[in-house]
Structure 1
Amino acid sequence: MKVDELIDIFKYGNYEDQNIRMAVINSESKFLYMSSTLVSFYENYKEMPVYDYYKDHFPSSELDKIINGINNALEGISTSSVIVLKDSLDKEEINWDTTFLPFTSEEGDRFCVTKIQPREIQLSTTSTNYLIREIVEKSNDYFAVFDEDLNFVYISKTDQDWDIKPIVGKHISSLINGNVLEIFKDRVKKATENPGEVITDIVKLNVANRGLVYYESSMEFHDFGALGKYYLDRTAEVTEKVLRNREIESQKSAIEKMSKWTALGQMAANIAHEVNNPLAIIELQAQSISKRGADFTIEQVREKINSIKEQKDRISNIVSSLKIYSHDDRSKREHTSLSSIIHDSIALFKTATVDESLKIVFSNDSDNDMVNINSSEIIQVIINLLNNAFDAIDELSDQWIELNLFDHNGLVYLDVIDSGVGIDKEIATKIFDRFYTTKGRTKGTGLGLNICQGIINDHGGAISFDPESEYTTFRICLPQVNPS
């Protein structure tokens, strides 16, 4: 039999499914053939010296066994040996049953045929490799392995239009460029600095006949010691997911705006009443000065002017609070005293409710209440909590709301407490769910607390209900910033 015929038998002998690696080595100890059963890298072993390959895979003691086995086979002697290889993380020793067989071609040339197979008791790691490879090759995602110079070592066959083999061995820059390449290099840098961690980016590419396509790329860096350093990369198309999330965010923003403007509409009549009262006082005082100004003393005129100024300031405060509350630029945040926002919220709320029986008390025990916030959104949250408290205690004889501000360990806290007796435990687990309400369809949408939670979370804080408190208590916390 010719050696080429023997190699053809190995190529079509289904050895991969049997977890076996076959190799043919010539008299110069160079590979003529090696099956790619243990790794799915596209490497060309032909004419590679056996020693050059195995020196990076086995310690010297095991390498001696391999060299001796090959030399014996070339002398016509069959030998078997157990070769020990530690896995890439040096956590598990894998024993390989290795047979070195002599082969003489019909031309009289001598060769060594090696058969390497993991022992059944040690198959866990190797079998996992095969299972992973099967999953990888059949996945719609792109899987790639890069060496430390960012050359392709492996790429999965995910797209039939790709000619895979020419890509292997090439640098990543042969496939991508520009901003996408810079994002890739930044991902490599982060992965290198955090070995074993998954570093993920969203990348967008203009694809022919499709336009803008979004991909999620996840990378890990591993140092396999003598086997080398590699980057493992998975890229999955997530265009539909990205667009769906954008639509959800857009709908969420629209719902939040609707909730805010609905609240303004509900407050409009009371706000108009609160503005009309000081305007009426201003008009009366102005008429009085106009008609009887000559009869007034300087002191009386001064009193009426001060009264007009007080009413003007009252209107100004209402308008100022409304302007902050109705502001729509969610991206604008600035360092603000939370106590000033609370004062604006209380003023706007009291203007809207016009209920003299309700007592509102605000205490500030904070040494530093500076926070980085969007004032309009935080006013929306506080007014929502005040409205909920007012609705809950509307029929109680003792009606009060307390707002307590304090700071601790880099956080600013605001407790909103009302004279109610709390919330049933079963209901309390649902109050932040979207569309859940206890107010009935005519009065509540079930969006208020859910929107509040979204706003506070977006600010890096948290909002919660205290089930242990004697009275109904909600707590907001926000990250503290240093005063400028």
Structure 2
Amino acid sequence: MYRILYAEDNFENYKLVEFVLNKNGFDVKSAVDGLDVIDKVENYKPHLIIMDIDLPNLMGYEVTSWLKSKEAYKNIPVIALTADYSGNYEIISKMSGCIAYYSKPVDPVSFGREIKKFIEAHQENPDTQPLSEQMSKSLENKARQVHDLNKQLKEYENKFSGILSKLSDVIIITDRDFNITYYNSSAIEKEVFRKRYISGMNFFELFSCVDMNAEEIKKRLEENEKLANIDIELESLRGTSSFFLGNFDLTDDNEILISLREVSGDVQNFNTMDQVDKMAGLGVITSGIIHEINNPLTAIKTYLEVLKMKISDETLKDVVEKIDSGFQSIEKLSNSLLGFAKPSREKTYPININNIVKEVMSFSEYEIRRGNVNINFDMQDDIPVFNGIKSQMEQVVLNLLINANHAVSEIENPEITIETYEDDGYIVFEVADNGQGIKEKVQNRIFEPFFTTKSKDKSTGLGLTMVKQIVERHNGILDFTSDDKGTNFIIKFPRE
């Protein structure tokens, strides 16, 4: 059985030729590059070598020249097989010592017969002028040096990638236009990055800089300035965001190295502390205001009592009673605000949420129905009670109903639906409107003190903040849903 050494760096091309030669009774061994041919020719002792011309490390014609310069190998016939159709390669191949030149793909019918004929009828080609042995040796040494350098480079590359993969920081490398060419495993661990990244995507399609745009960053990098601690935001598909401190540096290879350290937790803590500070300040302000209001209220209350005793005219008595009723509403609101500013000392009692709704409607129905708002009631008749403070529950219901009225103030056929029911041990109170909904980008801020999407004459930005605090004091759960068809606030209190 004739032995064929086939030098080919493309595995699919090799398997095709191997199949054709095996069918014709040849034993075929592969060599992946020129150095591999030199290493295998001694032990394998092939009857013929098929040489791809365009090989790594040493070109095919260089290996052929080396073989022809060696006494032990110069009589082994070599044929060139290449996908290059230019005449230059054919001339160079034959000058180096190849006895024939074939273009890929081979003819599966005739190729095996021709290879056999070359082996059996081979004679030394007197026209070949192989390179000198010294030059061939020099080529071999240089090729081995390149091979060793490539091997070392690969090891360093693997080591470098291993180091980057162990870093907790996200490492991203881009070209000069910020198109991503590399990212480490810490980037993949970020769910947001993994789900949104598409191969070749631009860095600024994923991330946004708080203080500067891509052009500004690029300009400063070109001025050899390293950028450190840039605020970076990565927004998820759900509208939530991750925050990073980013460092930008221009490398010697004209690439941009970006390292991102996530600080989302720190930002959240900062926002929480900021909200706590606002709440604390709000408590101090509210307490002071209520103290100033209560002084004249006390005097008014005293004068009203005197008037009740002194007035005998029934008409005037009726007027005084209405003034007294209005005064009591003011006093109740004052106490509610004071309860918001500091923990209430009122005792809790069993609360029927349906009764709270009815009482709120009795003194604020005009305000809630303002703008011809249609109100739908869907309240469970035998709803159980829960423990709570009555005045604070009235404040919750009133705020949600007024918010709903504002939400539907600019639409046709405005509607508010009030629903109460029992669900899995909770008393549920819902207020739904058919307004335009809360924009997704601000939904996570609606409970912040002083935050409002309404005009300043309609809102102070405290209503939902008060609702949230009161619900939490009652061990309740506050949630909401919102889209372009309306908003629905859901509050759950544990039943008694």
TM-score normalized by structure 1?
Answer: 0.35
Larger Rg: 2
